[in-house]
Amino acid sequence: MLYPFEERLYRKPIEGFAFVLKPDDSLYRGGRRLVCEGVCPRAHRPLACRMFPLRVRLTANEADGTVRAEAELDPRAWAVCPLPEEGGLRAMSAPFVGAVAQAGQLLAGNTFMLEMMLAEQRLIDEMRRL
C-alpha cells in the first residue's frame, strides 16, 4: 500500500520496474496499491517495502496529545520473510530499526499520514486478534 501522496512517484513508467497502481480505499480515500512483478530497482521501491519486514507502531499519549513511533515486526512478514524466525527485531541491524522508527515519527507529524498509519494499525491489531 502506498502512503498518501507517494503515488506521485509512480505516475510515469520506471525503467526496469513493471508495476500497476490499483485503487484501494481500505486505509484512506483515494489510496493506491502498487502491484509489482517481484523485481524493482532498489532506489525506486515504495516506502512500505523499504521498512519491511518492519512496520511502524504508534502509541498516543493521551495526557499531552503526542504520538510516539516505534518499529515492530510486521506480522504479515511471517509468511514471506525468514528474518522473523531468525530472532525477530534482534536479527535486524539497530540502525535499520532506528531508521524505521525515525521515519514513522516524522510521518506521524502529517495528518494524512497519521490517519493512514492508524487505520493500518487497527487492521493489524484486528488481524492479531483472529
> Using the rule CB under 6 A, which residue among 7, 10, 40, 96 binds ligand SF4?
40
Residues in the chain: 130
Contact pick of 9, 21, 49, 60 for ligand SF4 (by CB under 6 A): 49
Least spacing, CB of residue 76 vs ligand SF4, in Å = 12
Q: Is 84 in the site for ligand SF4 (CB under 6 A)?
A: no
Interacting span for ligand SF4 (CB under 6 A) from 3-11, 41-49, 65-73, 79-87: 41-49
75 Cβ contact partners less than 8 Å away, ≥ 6 residues apart: 124, 127, 128
Q: Are 1 and 24 in contact (CB under 8 A)?
A: yes
Residues 54 and 73: beta-carbon distance below 8 Å: yes
**Least distance in angstroms from the C-beta of 37 to ligand SF4:** 7
Given candidates 9, 20, 21, 36, which one binds ligand SF4 under the rule CB under 6 A? 36
Total binding residues for ligand SF4 by CB under 6 A? 7
> Would you call 27 helix, strand, or coil by DSSP?
coil
Query: Using the rule CB under 6 A, is 14 a contact of ligand SF4?
Result: no
Identify how many contiguous H helices and E strands the chain contains and give both numbers.
Answer: 3, 4
* Contact criterion met (CB below 8 Å) for 117 and 104: yes
- Applying CB under 6 A, the residues found at the interface with ligand SF4 are 36, 38-40, 45-46, 49
